[in-house]
Amino acid sequence: MITEFFCRRSFGPLYFISVFLIILFYLHTLNIESFESVIQQLPFWFGDSKAVVSVNDFGAKGDGFRDDTKAFEDAWKVACSLPSGSILEIPAGNVYLVRPINFGGPCQSKVTLLVSGTIVAPEEPDIWNGLDPRKWLYFHGLDHLVVRGGGIINGMGRKWWDRSCKINTTNPCQHAPTAITFHRCNNLDVRNLMIVNSQQMHMAFTNCYRVKVSHLKVVAPADSPNTDGIHISASSHVEVKNSIIQTGDDCISVVSNSSVVQMRNIICGPGHGISIGSLGKFSSYSQVRDILVDGAFLSNTENGLRIKTWQGGSGFVRDVDFRNVLMVNVSNPIIIDQYYCDSMLQCPNQTSSIKLERVSFKQIRGTSATENAMIFACSDNFPCMDIYLSDIQLLYSVGKTNAYCWKAFGISSGLVYPQPCLSPDEH
């Protein structure tokens, strides 16, 4: 009769789930010992066979005072070695003190780092004595890593900032850690995190391929030195979107040998704006191409949309598109500076330069904190070529805005204010 009943009826998936839950409840009422083991298998039955590895299971205290580095290292080794995928959990409600640490690959399968709690760095810079001063949380050689969870990563950067030569000019200029570095990571997904008060840069991608970054909040004081929000170097096919960045340096910086980078829906400020560069320092070669900024709100930043190169470099920046940007009280809203010199000493004049071509600024509106709303300071020997301006309106609260051009060639269309100063293209 039971067989006939099932054969004559058509049941959807919700029916079978309901029956399964009723059976589980029945087992529980009979005090069946295997009840808990059945519950633990639910992820498998419903299509998620990833094992959950918690740092707490490896001795992490999560009190913010005792050192949890060893627990993190041991938990990572296990999560990275599992053949069917894993979730490395940093539980909510806890604060984990972690010293400089490497999360190395390759792993046996895909790993998700679920940061629901808070990770804090040691306050004292001396902890890094004998270690690489550029690294704190260092991920390298990984494929298909996911980092998410809604937690907080706190670099505790105040004592590092106090030592900076940019704060105290009598101090020597020294490196400080990047809070989170991803090096040689492919197919990377980073989302839904808050990163605060990094020692120097907050998040860096170096030599990475296929990266998605979204729903980040990056926060540090406006006077914190060199605290870039997101730094992209020698990486390709990177997308950063739907993020809020408030720091003491560039909100996003794209440098040396990066390509196909897209930035969408970015809120920036305070900070130094969205920058390509700096490039070409120490007569180095760089190439940057296919860069898009589409949708940004910049407020009270020292610069807006910027390309900066040192004299003496070589290579090129080409196919850059800035569009749909709103600015409020931004100094230097649009700036190309091929005479960049971030040095206490005067930089010598040099003839070689990185070549800039096919750079467009479209639908840029808002208010400038200075008279010079557009600056195109290009190289004598390698002028800026094919600059395109369209639908730009940048106002100044106490007077007219100006545009400054040197060796800048291109065209404009539609309403462009201030009045553009580009020379007609040479070719």
Sign of CA dihedral 417, 423, 424, 427: negative
Three-class SS state of 204:
strand
Strands (E), 164-311: 178-183, 186-196, 203-206, 209-219, 230-233, 236-246, 252-255, 259-268, 274-279, 285-299, 305-309
Task: Find the catalytic residue in 68, 228, 231, 249.
Answer: 249
What is the DSSP code string of 92-147? TT-EEE--SEEEE---SS-EEEEE-SEEE--S-GGGGTTS-TTEEEEEES-BS-EE
The answer to whether the peptide bond before residue 413 is cis (omega within 30 degrees of 0) is no
How many Å separate Cα 363 from the centre of its chain? Answer: 24
140, 202, 231, 272: which one is catalytic? 272
| Cα(427)–Cα(424) distance, integer angstroms | 9
β-strand partners of 113:
88, 147
Residue 396 CA to residue 368 CA, distance in Å, equals 5
For this structure, is 249 an active site residue?
yes
For residue 159, what is the enclosing H or E element?
helix 158-163
Q: Which residue has the tokens 């040192």?
A: 310
CB 351, CB 310: distance < 8 Å: no
Label the pairing between strands 285-299 and 355-368.
Answer: unpaired
b/e per residue, 31-43, with b = 16+ CB within 10 A? eeeebeeeeeeee
Residue 321 annotated to the active site: no
CA angle 386, 328, 325 (to 5 degrees): 40
| Residue indicated by tokens 């009826």 | 9
Q: How far apart are CA 386 and CA 179, in angstroms?
A: 38
* Cβ atoms of 105 and 142 closer than 8 Å: yes
Active-site residues, by number, are 249, 272
